[in-house]
Amino acid sequence: MRQSPSQNASLNAAIALTRFGLGAGPGEIEAVGNDARDWLAAQIRPDGAPSPQGDLPTTDERVQDWLAYQQTGQQRRQIRRQEGAGPQNALPPAARAQPMAEGAAMSGMAQQGQTPAQTAPLSDEAQAAFDARRESRRDLAQETAREFVARADLGATTPDGFAERWALFWANAFTVSAIKFQSGIFIGPYEREAIRPHVFGRFEDLVLATESHPAMLTYLDQAQSVGPNSVAGQRRNAGLNENLAREILELHTLGTDGGYTQADVTELARALTGWSIPTNRGAGGQGRGQRRRGRRGAALAEPASENGFVFRTIIHEPGTRTVLGKTYAEGGAEQGRAILRDLANAPQTGRRLSHNLARHFVADEPSPALVQKLEAAWTSSRGDLAQVARALIEAPDAWEPQATKIKTPYEFIVSTHRALGTRPQRPQPLQQALIQMGQPAFSAPSPEGWPDTAADWAGPDALVKRLNWAKTVGDRAAETDADAVAAAALGPRLGERSRLAIARAESRPEALTLFLMSPEFQRR
Amino acid sequence: MTQMIHLNRRLLLGGLGAAGVGLAYAGRVAAQSASTRPKLVVVIARGAMDGLSVTVPYGDANYRALRGTLAIAAPGEANGAMALSEGFGLHPALTTLHQMYGEGQMRFAPAVAIPVRVRSHFDAQDVLENGGEGLRAQSDGWLNRALVSAGGQGTLKGLSIGAQTPLILRGRAETSSWAPGGQVKGEDRIASLLQDLYVEDPMLGTSLARGLETEALASAMSDGTPLRRADVAGLGQAVARLMTGEQGADVVALSVDGWDTHARQNAQMQTRLDGLDALIGGIRTGLGPQWSQTVLVVATEFGRTARTNGTQGTDHGTASSLLLAGGALKPGGPIGDWPTLADNRLFEDRDLAPTLDVRSVFKGVLRDHLGVDQAALDARVFPDSAAEAPALTGLV
């Protein structure tokens, strides 16, 4: 049967909102109008994707927070030392052995943290130092939690759902995880300052911004990597850490089959030595650095920092570097940047990320034609992500009526808010739901980021937990007209079977739960 | 250091109470009763577990020099390893495993590796779990194929704990999954309405049905106390409860993350191994008498560099150790040869060299413990592995 033009336009609007975006709220399908492609293309702006709102800290402010937190630790150590306790006892045994829960950087709000359960009682002064540190840590975690709620709120309210999904894709491609507490502190400003401004710009700018941000430099241990032949490396027992170098090659640019060797990893690791973050030395603190300086009598000026990035010549491995057969002259931080630019512009990189984009937005196993289309846009524009985004919008595959992708838990929760016209308020229930469904806030399990296929998200337990959550939403929204919500959220994508089941439900909570768990709402 | 709680990435052992632990189980042979069926638990230590800190080669002349401050002390010294045999000791955190060793219920292979030389976590985990000889050689997991191959005698089923089913158990044999925190009952009205909605979406339909089934089993087995998030032993016991009784699982695969110790390794290893030890202890407690029919395997995707790196950690390496525990094991010494840490024996001048293909251990356990047919093991479960990775004998 032939569909009328308006039905077609309405289906395309529903696809634009759900497959490219984070779901439709009341009236949105109508608002998209007759040309869904134009509506999507209008979200591609040179200044990038919109950022979460609400007086959120800059990278520099978060660096100051981190340094202040470190000082609480230094003060506590000092007191314990004065009181004659060995440094190994500075942390109570129970706290030391305690395995940190997943997403702990977020859930430090109440139960998490270091409980003073030591056997010997602390002096008042030591207790105060301990409390100060715990409080500082809790504040840091609370700020991260506030950041996450702000992001979810942007997802729930933004008129630019495609720009938001596009930004989330890149945040996941350059994953930093709060599983590492220190890195979690920086994730908010990392996404706002290093990711979002660049997602519709040149890919190499995105690479340079992410790899030099304190979030990444701490997450993948770069900040502490020392060139063995650098000034500092020669006088103390420190050396290379190749973690970031390897993941840049493997996950951020070329990919494992991208033709690099262990020697390339090591050379890149050498080139990146010196890429670091500020310390208390520069902040005028009483940190270890200052004590060390005092002992050795060799005052080291803290290099200037910019957006949390510091280049430390003293730990940079001197010399030319060879990566993938190309030689890079010594040039301080610029040496590493030159290599990153070449990696960003390598054909393997564009091919790999084109595939990942197609897999994320369209199908677990995207057609070669779709991938080639994106890759061609990538290559001809030399990594202009706006051109790649336009190619995705123009690809016929992206408009197939059949929805095959399963929403991630985050997409599921945010799209529920959109459908109901509600907003996430408090961090705790949001985080709890995400943990249950397997995607704790800001806490991807590895630098590979969250997985991206149906088999990853639609496992038996995951669906049980989605059903759990859908029921609590249904119970709390007992006044909601599920028929209307379903029609508004899915438009022509709502199938007859689901529509009837929702209409025939015996209660409003049941109807809403059925809608949230319907295949049409679970898939996009 | 007061930063001991400072955590590296991938430390999902902490996910324990939540979704980070993936457990997969399967396999029930109909002819056997609940009390005599063999049980298999496969623990995947994700992130590249440092074998040189787990089964400590304190007797190797080069160990201390290569490891410096990361070297675990010899038995008898302060914070020293617990003696095993032939110059090996167990990390001091692994007290339960060491007790099992004393009872002839623990063995170790000090230098195993997957058949492919890669240093990418993700590629290596794929190989470890898909059981093939190359990257992306198989799209399903060897434990699932083992279930299919062993399925002749009865119905086999699988389960994973945590939101994501690990590759090792993905495949043709249908599996379920479970994680703490469920509230939905199997006979739920909405659940049955959803089955009607899912008739044209069998993936969602099958998946939800299996999840509800397992959740019902879990709540029937539970003593009603909710599991605290950090209660690792409690999680082990909850896992074990799902393996007991007529409906219980017989083969379990469990993921423990957080082993990627690029910096400050010793503190992290202490925490991770404390957790692993408690988990295994919990499983033994929960299984009760059935522990005597159980084999538990701990394997990782690759080991770490023999030398300490510049940040009191280690980088991605090659061979690592594999642990076996369980009442069904035959007692014995180290499995496979020790390549030594001599300069000219290090793989690519940096890593512990492998002397044993990890598939040989898996195959030995599957054949002698679960009774999977040898020909199926060589051809299907681990394709084309007969020559390169013959099944070990004498483990069970």
**Angstroms from A519 CA to nearest CA on chain B:** 7
Which chain A residue is nearest to residue B181, measuring alpha carbons? A436
pLDDT at A285: 40
Last residue of a domain, one of B173, B197, B225: B225
State which amino acid sits at residue B170.
Answer: R
Q: A81 pLDDT band (50/70/90 cuts)?
A: confident
- Of the ranges A187-201, A319-333, A364-378, B144-158, which one carries the lowest mean pLDDT score? B144-158
Q: What is the DSSP code (8-state) at residue B256?
A: E
* Residue A411: partners with Cβ closer than 8 Å, 6 or more residues away: A22, A23, A524
What is the rounded CA–CA span in Å between residue B227 and residue A281? 44
- With a CB cutoff of 8 Å and minimum separation 6, the contacts of B104 are B329, B330, B331
Rg (CA), chain A: 25
Last residue of a domain, one of B194, B209, B225: B225
- Residue A422, Cβ density class (10 Å: 0-12 exposed, 13-18 middle, ≥19 buried): middle
Which of A102, A224, A233 minimises the CB distance to B263? A224
Q: Which of A77, A98, A262 faces B348 most closely, judged by CB atoms?
A: A262
In a domain, A267, yes or no: yes
> Each residue of B65-120: pLDDT tens digit?
999 999 999 999 999 999 999 999 999 999 999 999 999 999 999 999 999 998 88
Considering the domain boundaries, does residue A493 fall inside one? no
Structure letter (DSSP) for residue B212: H
End-to-end alpha-carbon separation of chain A, Å? 24
Q: Is residue B235 part of a domain?
A: yes
* A438: Cα within 13 Å, side-chain hemisphere: 30
At B116, which CATH number? 3.40.720
Is residue B386 one of the residues assigned to a domain? no
Same domain, B248 and B213: no
Model pLDDT for residues B322-335, shown as the tens digit of each residue: 999 999 999 999 99
Identify the DSSP state of B347.
B
Number of domains in chain B: 2
For residue B101, tell me if it sits in a domain.
yes
* Beta strands B356-357; B106-113: pairing state: parallel
Say if residue B100 is in the same domain as residue B198: no
- Tokens standing for A212? 């030099």
Q: Helices (DSSP H) in A362-506: which residue ranges?
A: 368-380, 385-394, 409-420, 427-437, 454-457, 460-476, 482-490, 496-503
d(CA B306, CA B50): 9
Residues B90 and B238 in one domain: yes
Selection from A237, A304, A310 nearest residue A276 by Cα: A310
User: How is A44-58 classified by DSSP, letter by letter?
Assistant: --TT-S----SSPPP
Q: pLDDT tens across B121-162, in order?
A: 888 998 999 998 776 666 789 999 998 888 654 556 677 776
Interface test with A, best of B1, B3, B12, B95 (most A CBs within 10 A): B12
Contact criterion met (CB below 8 Å) for A26 and A420 = no
H-helix or E-strand spanning residue B253 = strand B251-257
Q: With a CB-CB cutoff of 8 Å, which residues 436-465 of chain A face chain B?
A: 436-440, 445-448, 451, 454-465
**How far is residue A232's CA from residue B278's CA, in Å, rounded to a whole number?**
41
Residues B77 and B175 occupy one common structural domain: yes
Query: What's the rounded Cα separation, in Å, for the pair A470 and A240?
Result: 48
Task: Write out the residue range of the structural domain in which residue A208 sits.
Answer: 202-283+304-362+365-399
User: In this model, does residue B224 exceed pLDDT 80?
Assistant: no
Q: Where are the alpha helices (DSSP H) in B13-152?
A: 51-54, 63-67, 95-102, 121-130, 142-150
Which of B283, B324, B319 minimizes the C-alpha distance to B300?
B319
For the ranges A89-93, A149-153, A184-188, B249-253, the lowest mean pLDDT is seen at A89-93
Residues B26 and B138 in one domain: yes
Per the CB < 8 A criterion, the answer to whether A174 and A18 are in contact is no
Between residues A363 and A77, the one the model is more confident about = A363
| Domain match, B111 and B124 both | yes
Any chain B CB within 8 A of the CB of A43? no
Tell me whether A64 touches chain B (CB under 8 Å): no
pLDDT at A293 exceeding the cut of 50: no
For residues B189 and B112, membership in a common domain is answered with no
Nearest CA to A339 among A262, A244, A267, A241?
Answer: A267
Buried b (16+ CB within 10 A) or exposed e, B120-158: bbbbbbbbbbbbbbebeebebbbbbbbbbbbbeeeebbb
- Measured distance CA(A413)–CA(A410) in Å, rounded: 5
Between β-strands B175-178 and B158-161, what pairing exists: parallel, antiparallel or unpaired?
Answer: parallel
Asked if residue A58 lies in contact with residue A214, where contact means CB atoms within 8 angstroms, the answer is no
Burial of A6 (0-12, 13-18, 19+ CB in 10 A): exposed
pLDDT over 90 (residue B320) = yes
| Closest chain B residue to the Cα of A513, Cα to Cα | B190
| Residue B222: strand, helix, or coil | coil
Give the span between the Cα atoms of A66 and A181, in whole angstroms: 10
Nearest CB to A519 within list B16, B204, B214: B204
Q: How far is B37 from chain A (nearest CA, A)?
A: 25
Residue B207 belongs to domain spanning: 183-225
Domain presence at residue B95: yes
**B34 shares its domain with B174:** yes
* Residues B239, B205 share a domain: no
Is B27 found in the same domain as B168?
yes
- What is the C-alpha separation between A339 and A331, in angstroms, rounded? 11
Separation in Å, CA B94 to CA A99, A202, B55, B265:
15, 50, 10, 16
In a domain, A486, yes or no: no
Of A237, A257, A459, the CB nearest to B163: A459
Q: What is the ipTM of this complex?
A: 0.86
Structure tokens at A170: 């890149």
Number of domains in chain A: 1
Mutation target to probe the B interface, by most B beta carbons within 10 A, among A461, A463, A490, A524 is: A461
Helices (H) and strands (E) in chain B, counts: 11, 12
Residue B249 lies in a domain: yes
Does residue A175 belong to any structural domain of this protein? Answer: no
Whether the CA torsion B287, B41, B211, B36 is positive or negative: it is: negative
B23 falls within a domain? yes
B20 and B51 in a common domain? yes
* Distance in angstroms (rounded) separating the CA atoms of residues A144 and A186: 8
Token pair in block for residue B97 = 């495993």
Cβ <8 Å between A510 and B198? no
Average pLDDT over all residues of chain B? 85
pLDDT bucket at B227, cuts 50 / 70 / 90: confident
Residues B205 and B110 in one domain: no
A390 assigned to some structural domain: yes
CA–CA separation, B10 vs B29, rounded Å? 36
